[in-house]
Structure 1
Amino acid sequence: MSQATSPTLLIRSAAWRRSLELLFWLLLVLINCSGNAITTWMDANRSGAASMQWWEPWIWEFSSGLVWLLLLVPAIVWFSRRWPLHLDNWRRRLPWYLLASVPISLLHVLAMFALRMLAYAAVGERYHIGSWLDELLYEYLKDVRTYAAILFCIDGYRFLRRRLQGEAQLLAAPDEGPPVEPIEHPERLLVRKLGRDFLIATADIEWAQAAGNYVNLHLRGHDYPLRITMAALELKLDASCFVRVHRSWLINLAHLVSIEPLEGGEALLHMADGKAVACSRRYLPVLKSRLSEDREHSLPA
């Protein structure tokens, strides 16, 4: 089977991806905080809590929401990308996720209380905190549920994106008989996308970028995540075509257009598709050496 080349909604929306993700979190916090503030005010009126001011529930909810939005969600996104949970590692990593809930809740409580104190002071009031131990335990029990919900949203979103854009896999050895092509240095990769299978040639890969436990393979305007380390991928690809240029980047020399030197011995590599790839000082001499070798081999004898 061949790879589909027609542009998809996922590709066309790539330019707005970050903005859409930010809009999602903004709307989620806005809707959740507003709903909680309104219901808290309604419950207070029903119970006859005349001492509560109308603005207090809004300060309580939005001080919490802002801390989650500005501090904790970005931290959780980074943490879950750096150490993602999978079926083969969840037993080993789940304890670390549970342990991370403690500093997350502590940071949430301290920053939230600080914002509330400032907001109350701005209207000439004082925010009262009861027993710190009781407050920390109470907030932790709520924060764990919020933390789990955020992780669910993040992992669900990433799973959906992989399903839409396709996820690459190495060809496995057949159950019977010899493999049709080499397994250690495959000429093709299997891409599964929305229930369909495609075969892509490894020689068509233009560049690859590490992303946590995955490496995103880029070819013909598509990005396909392959669950592998960059070091392992480097060993499997044809060394005459591909070269490592950074801890997180690997390029196909056939798609390299130019090298832009930077200060400090680093460089930007301009690829045929317009992508600018970082080349570290450690790998730049290796790249130049490879290009020199290729130039010598291309000269007539």
Structure 2
Amino acid sequence: MSRPRRVLITGARGMLGTDLRLAAERAGHHVTALDRGALDILDAAACRDAVAGHDVVLNAAAYTRVDDAETHEAEAMAVNAEGAENLARASRTAGAVLVQYSTDYVFAGDATEPYAEDAPLAPVSAYGRTKAEGERRVRAAHPDGSIVLRTAWLYGEHGPNFVRTMVRLYREYGTLTVVDDQHGQPTWTRDLAEQTVRMLSAGVRSGTLHGTASGATTWHGFACAIVENLGGDTATVEPTDSARFQRPAQRPAHSVLGHDGWRRIGLEPMRPWREALYEAMAEGVFG
């Protein structure tokens, strides 16, 4: 993808979709950015019409309300699996590469080491089941032209997220209480968008990769780093456990993803999460 390509982005007004558009445009590609109002991915014919004439489809459209999915699984399945399959079929017809963004929730979250790209899927929530089914359908519909790119713990300028919430709460109250028994990889959407562009420029057309920052921490460690970047005292961030914050959907306790796939295709994994967080906060976009 060294030359300009025609890139279609779905879910283009979301936090990731917005950064995908900006990254693709900075790289000189011709971008068509469609939000839910402009393209209903549940409409197979509309997907075929939208994808026609494009070289790449970046599917950032998703049902991401994790707790709501527990009681609205059919609705989540429609978007995360049926809609993804429609885009995969349309991409195959058009000869386009589809990038399907997936999640750490496709794993059980009970591992003691990072999940490899080919680790067995075992979702423990409705949301995870719908995203796992989306992966399966995309691969089946377009096996030679679909890339599953799993990510996790996203934050960014263009939507609500953990960083923005912690900044607001810390400035309001001066203290935070955050769970310390869930492990993952805070990932800046801008870094993920730029890694996506690098991946396509390297000529990748199919496979499974993990689009998360390097390193790992807990939500408490993440919050401490946020407070530290604000010039605050990390002693004011109290650790607690998940039992104190009961939610409808079970969260993976260990959702650290491995990055060996990047090296196999000649690319470096994304940079360390602390480095990315510092740069993101230095821009002052989180309040």
TM-score using structure 2 length: 0.24
Q: Is the radius of gyration larger for structure 1 or structure 2? A: 1
Please state which structure has a larger fraction of its residues in helix: 1
Task: Kindly indicate whether structure 1 or structure 2 has the higher relative contact order, using CA contacts under 8 Å at least 6 residues apart.
Answer: 2
TM-score using structure 1 length: 0.23
